[in-house]
Amino acid sequence: MKKLQIAGLTALTLLGSLSAVQAQVATTSPVGYETVTLQPNQFNLLGVRLQGAVVHTGAFDTFTATSLTDTGASFDLVATTEYIVELEDGSNFNILGSDASGDVISFVDTIVAGDVQAYSIRVASTLNSVLGNPTDLTSSANGNPAGADVVWIPNGVLFDKYYHVTLTGSEGWYKVGATGEGLKGDSVVINPGTAIYVQTLGSTSGTTDITVTGTVKTTPTAYIHNQEWNLLGSEYPAGQTLANSGLSANVTSSSNGNPAGADVVWVPNGVLFDKYYHVTLTGSVGWYKVGATGEGLKNDTELPSGVYIQDADGSGGGVITPPASYSGL
């Protein structure tokens, strides 16, 4: 029901304790899995790069301020299930199955003429579909979040926090500090292009492997910057680089080769971050590493599942594009 946005950070206070997420990817066309290694007792940056299955495709014909119509459709979605409507240009909308009736989908956001285009509907990724019953994470045995691992999910301003409970009769995901709100595993959506944190409070030594399964997305994914610090999922689980990501079309580049005033992409390196900026100076066009004078172009730097974009003016956005090889999937 809401057009997707990538939430940002209002401060850099977490950055010093953040850990990279290390991943190994195995995919078949177009379904696969990603094994993600979480570091202990840290914030682990994680982008969900495998999505729910596509259940319907078509093309919208007409619109109102709050609806889109596909006169050739007869929607048959599960009323209580969360879905993503993906437009051909990469824009995305959240809906519940009950928002689609007959050949009309109703939205909270204002619909415009440009939204009348080809679309796909896929099952949304949720806490349950991504992390499920997390035997590899530390859950709460008594319903109290103290000592449990915590998942931080952007809410458009800051974060909502969730923890898993194994107490008999109360098993599932709950929101930290939301006593009485009940289970959240199927209603909390992790949107395409979003990065989240897994805070491994329950682990003080040793890494933890979790496996995320789903469908490989082969179409562009829109994102929006609304603050200086923005979390972004790299979206495509293999072969996504700085050069083919499409980020250069929408970041503030450097016209003189100096990173001052340019947007900066912070890429986890296993300990902290490497920082990259884009240059448009004739003869030197491309991506460079901040502070690495003489190292040359870094266009082929592969992106992990989640990154930061430090936006110099605190606003912007665009689309993340899949590698060219995805066109055959």
Residue 19's pLDDT is 54
> Encoding tokens for residue 167?
């107490």
Mean pLDDT throughout 35-44? 87
149-175, pLDDT tens digit by residue? 999 998 877 899 999 999 999 999 999
Instruction: With cut-offs at 50, 70 and 90, classify the pLDDT of residue 314.
Output: low
Q: Rounded distance, CA 169 to CA 171, Å?
A: 6
CB 277 within 8 A of CB 253: yes
Report which of residues 18 and 83 the model is more confident about.
83
What single-letter amino acid sits at 289? K
Q: Count the helices and strands in the chain (H runs, E runs).
A: 1, 25
1 has a pLDDT exceeding 70? no
Mean pLDDT throughout 10-15? 42
CA 4 to chain centre: 10
Instruction: With cut-offs at 50, 70 and 90, classify the pLDDT of residue 178.
Output: very high
What count of other Cβ atoms lies within 10 Å of the Cβ of residue 28?
9
45-70, pLDDT tens digit by residue? 899 999 999 999 999 999 999 999 99
β-strand partners of 51: 215
β-strand partners of 104: 69, 101
Largest CA distance in the chain: 65
> Encoding tokens for residue 98?
């009950």
Positive or negative: CA dihedral 77, 114, 157, 269: positive
328 has a pLDDT exceeding 60? yes
254-298, pLDDT tens digit by residue? 999 999 999 999 998 877 899 999 999 999 999 999 999 889 999
Residue 29's pLDDT is 52
Instruction: With cut-offs at 50, 70 and 90, classify the pLDDT of residue 8.
Output: very low
**Opening angle at CA 230, ends 84 and 155, nearest 5:** 50
Using a CB cutoff of 8 Å and minimum separation of 24, what contacts does 91-98 make?
A: 91/3, 91/4, 91/115, 91/222, 92/3, 92/4, 92/191, 92/192, 92/193, 92/221, 92/222, 93/1, 93/2, 93/3, 93/4, 94/1, 94/2, 94/3, 94/4, 94/124, 94/189, 94/191, 95/1, 96/1
> Encoding tokens for residue 205?
């030594």
3 has a pLDDT exceeding 50? no
43 has a pLDDT exceeding 70? yes
Q: Rounded distance, CA 232 to CA 209, Å?
A: 22
Q: Rounded distance, CA 302 to CA 144, Å?
A: 39
**Opening angle at CA 4, ends 30 and 286, nearest 5:** 70
100-140, pLDDT tens digit by residue? 999 999 999 899 999 999 999 999 999 999 998 888 899 99
3-state secondary structure 114-157: HHCCEEEEEECCEHHHHHCCCCCCCCECCCCCCCCCEEEEECCC
Question: In this structure, what DSSP letter does residue 250 have?
Answer: T
